[in-house]
Each structure stands twice: as C-alpha cells, then as structure tokens.
Amino acid sequence: MMYVADLKGPWLDYWVARAEDVPDLKMPAQCEPSLKFSSDPALAQSIITRERIYVGSICDAELGNQSIACIGEANGNRLPATADSYCLGDNDFEAAMRCYVYSKFGPEVA
C-alpha cells in the first residue's frame, strides 16, 4: 500500500494510467511507463482541463516552495473554497496528477 501523497515519477505515472484505464499496464519495477503523465505537459494538461484541476503554488516555512492542486472551480487567484482535498507536489504536474489519482482512488493505492 502506498500513499498518493508519496507517489512520484514512474509510480505516479502508473497510477494515473490506471485511473485512465490504459490497457496492458506493467508495474514500474518491471517496465518504465511509456506514458509520463507527471512530466509530459501534453498528457497532463488534457487531464487537468477535463477534471477541472486547479493548480497554484505555496511557500511554506517547513516544506519550501510547493505546487498545490485540487479539483474545483477557481476563485480568482485563490484555490477553490469548496475543494475537499489538496495535493502537494514538487511541480505543477506532479501535484495535479496526485490530485487526479486521489480523486479516483482515495488517499492510498494498493
């Protein structure tokens, strides 16, 4: 079992592909995923737009500069007030794809 908040690189791409119902998936330990949702703007942006994922940035004394994402309507320059959960990431695509996986599977994946 893994926490969505800890997914990075190939594991994050794998779970995004699972959420997208990509056929013939292989686990990252066996094969590097060909679809790199967390680093390819063309792949990530279509999901961000379709799922209405809002991405912003925060600066936290403990975490430093982080991207933050949630699903909901943008409220000017602020995060949506109605969002149930937020996901952090080292960059916008990582945060957005974690948010997408969280919306499909919850806080943990197995």
What pLDDT does residue 86 have?
84
56 vs 81 pLDDT, higher one: 56
| 62 pLDDT more than 70 | yes
Mean pLDDT of the chain: 86
45 vs 73 pLDDT, higher one: 45
| 70 pLDDT more than 60 | yes
For range 67-71, the mean pLDDT: 91
> Helix or strand or coil: residue 69?
strand
pLDDT in tens, 2-22: 999 999 999 999 999 999 999
Angle between helices 41-51 and 92-105 (to 10 degrees): 50
Bridge partners of residue 68, in order along the sequence = 56, 88
What pLDDT does residue 44 have?
95
Q: Could you tell me the fold of the domain covering 2-23+35-105?
A: Bacillus phage protein (3.30.2120)
Question: What are the residue ranges spanned by the domains of the chain?
Answer: 2-23+35-105
With beta carbons less than 8 A apart as the criterion, state whether 80 and 72 touch. Answer: yes
Could you write out the DSSP letters of every residue in 72-93? S--BTTB--TT-S--EEESSHH
Cα torsion 92, 94, 98, 100: sign? positive
| 83 pLDDT more than 60 | no
